[in-house]
Each structure stands twice: as structure tokens, then as C-alpha cells.
Amino acid sequence: MDAMTMIDLSQIDDLARRLSSLVPPSLRQPLSSEAREELQQNFKSVLQAGLGKLDLVTREEFDVQRAVLLRTREQLEALQRSVAELESRNQG
């Protein structure tokens, strides 16, 4: 599953609508409703293309790596305790 399938497309639609609303009224008003829709679609396409180029990971991949890191940290801490215990036995 690629990162674009994990991104909420309704948020991209909303952002595209907001971007098209930022076009100055003097440029927006002469446009037909079809042209306004095309402008919004163009914003949407540019946003999707830009997000597609980012090196994103899915939430699932992030959660898996987070769990692996947590397990690794716990093992490291256990090893550090073991080494400290062995060192204290050798010094005593």
C-alpha cells in the first residue's frame, strides 16, 4: 500500500478548495463554474503529485518501527544492567 492511499483524500479536496478560494476575486469571478472546478482539480493534482514525491511511510509501518525500537531499547537497557552487575561482581 503506498503512502497516497493512507492520506485522506477528502483533506486534499478541502485544501484544493481553500487554495482555489485564495485566488483573487478579480481572477475568479470571470471564470465559469467549469473553469473554477478545473482550477480546483489542478490544485488537487499538484497537491497529490507533491505528496507522492515525498518519502512518506504509512502509519502501519511507523507503528511497526516504533515497536521494534521500543523492544530494542528494552533489550539494550537489560544488557546494560547485566554488564553493570557483572562489572560490580568482578570488582568486589
pLDDT tens-digit map of 17-76: 888 888 887 776 777 888 878 888 888 888 888 887 887 777 888 999 999 999 999 999
> What percentage of the chain carries pLDDT values higher than 70?
89
Tell me which DSSP letter residue 54 carries: S
Please report the sign of the dihedral spanned by the C-alpha atoms of residue 49, residue 52, residue 53, residue 59.
positive
% of the chain beyond a pLDDT of 90? 32
pLDDT for the residue 25:
75
Q: How far apart are CA 53 and CA 48, in angstroms?
A: 9
Structural contact between residues 39 and 20, judged by C-beta atoms closer than 8 angstroms: yes
Q: What is the pLDDT at residue 43?
A: 86
What are the two backbone dihedrals, phi and then psi, of residue 30, each rounded to the nearest 5 degrees? Answer: -70, -10
Instruction: Tell me: pLDDT of 92 over 90.
Output: no
Rounded Cα–Cα distance for residues 19 and 15 (Å) = 6
Residues 6+ apart with CB under 8 A from 44: 12, 13, 16
